[in-house]
C-alpha cells in the first residue's frame, strides 16, 4: 500500500507541475503578444548627433595639437648638440607627449560615454512617451517592430 501511495503522490505532483507549466506558458505567450516593440537605427542616430560631430572636431584638434607638439619637440631635440642633454630632452618630451595623449584619450572616452548615455536616455524617454514596452537596435531585428528612428533624430538634433 505504501508503494502505491508513493506512486500516486508522484503522479499527482507530476500532473500539477505539468498544469502549472502549461498555465505559465499561456500567460507568457498571452503577455508577449501585447508587447509593443520599437526599433531604432542607433548608428544613424549617432552619426546625426551634433554632439558626436563636435566631439570629432575636438578630437581632430587634439590630434593636431599633439602633432605640433611633437614637431616642436623634434626641432628642439635636433638643435641640441650635447648627446647627454639631447637624450634627456628627448625622454622629457616623450614623457610629456605620452601624458598629453593619455589625457586626451581619457577625455575623449568620457565624452563618448556621456554622449552614449544621453542618446540612450533620449531613446528611452521618447519610446516610453510613444507607449513602447521594448526598444531594440534595428540591426538586431530581422523583422517586426515599429521603426522610431526618425522620431529620435528629431530630438537628437
Length of the chain as a residue count: 157
Q: What is the dihedral of CA 52, 53, 56, 57, to 10 degrees?
A: -140
The rounded distance, in Å, linking the Cα atoms of 13 and 18 is 9
- Sign of the Cα pseudo-torsion (120, 121, 122, 124, in order): positive
Specify the residue for cell string 522620431: 151
Model pTM? 0.68
- Is there a single domain that holds both residue 90 and residue 123? yes
- How many domains does the structure of the chain reveal? 2
Name the burial class of residue 138, with classes exposed (0-12), middle (13-18) and buried (19+) by CB atoms within 10 angstroms of its CB.
middle
From first to last of its 157 residues, the chain has per-residue pLDDT tens of: 444 444 444 444 544 444 444 444 444 444 456 789 999 999 999 999 999 999 999 999 999 999 999 999 999 999 989 999 999 999 999 999 999 999 999 999 999 999 999 999 999 999 999 999 999 999 988 888 899 999 999 998 8
Here the CATH number for the domain that contains residue 58 is 3.30.910.20
Range of the domain at 12: 1-34
- Judgement on whether residues 24 and 61 belong to the same structural domain of the protein: no
Amino acid at each position: 500500500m505504501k508503494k502505491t501511495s508513493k506512486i500516486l503522490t508522484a503522479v499527482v505532483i507530476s500532473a500539477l507541475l505539468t498544469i502549472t507549466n502549461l498555465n505559465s506558458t499561456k500567460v507568457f505567450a498571452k503577455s508577449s503578444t501585447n508587447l509593443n516593440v520599437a526599433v531604432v537605427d542607433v548608428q544613424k542616430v549617432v552619426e546625426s548627433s551634433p554632439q558626436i560631430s563636435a566631439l570629432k572636431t575636438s578630437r581632430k584638434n587634439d590630434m593636431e595639437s599633439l602633432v605640433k607638439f611633437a614637431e616642436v619637440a623634434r626641432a628642439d631635440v635636433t638643435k641640441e648638440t650635447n648627446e647627454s642633454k639631447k637624450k634627456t630632452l628627448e625622454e622629457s618630451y616623450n614623457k610629456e607627449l605620452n601624458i598629453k595623449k593619455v589625457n586626451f584619450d581619457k577625455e575623449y572616452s568620457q565624452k563618448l560615454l556621456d554622449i552614449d548615455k544621453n542618446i540612450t536616455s533620449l531613446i528611452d524617454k521618447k519610446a516610453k512617451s510613444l507607449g513602447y514596452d521594448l526598444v531594440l537596435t534595428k540591426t538586431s531585428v530581422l523583422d517586426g517592430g515599429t521603426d522610431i528612428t526618425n522620431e529620435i533624430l528629431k530630438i537628437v538634433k
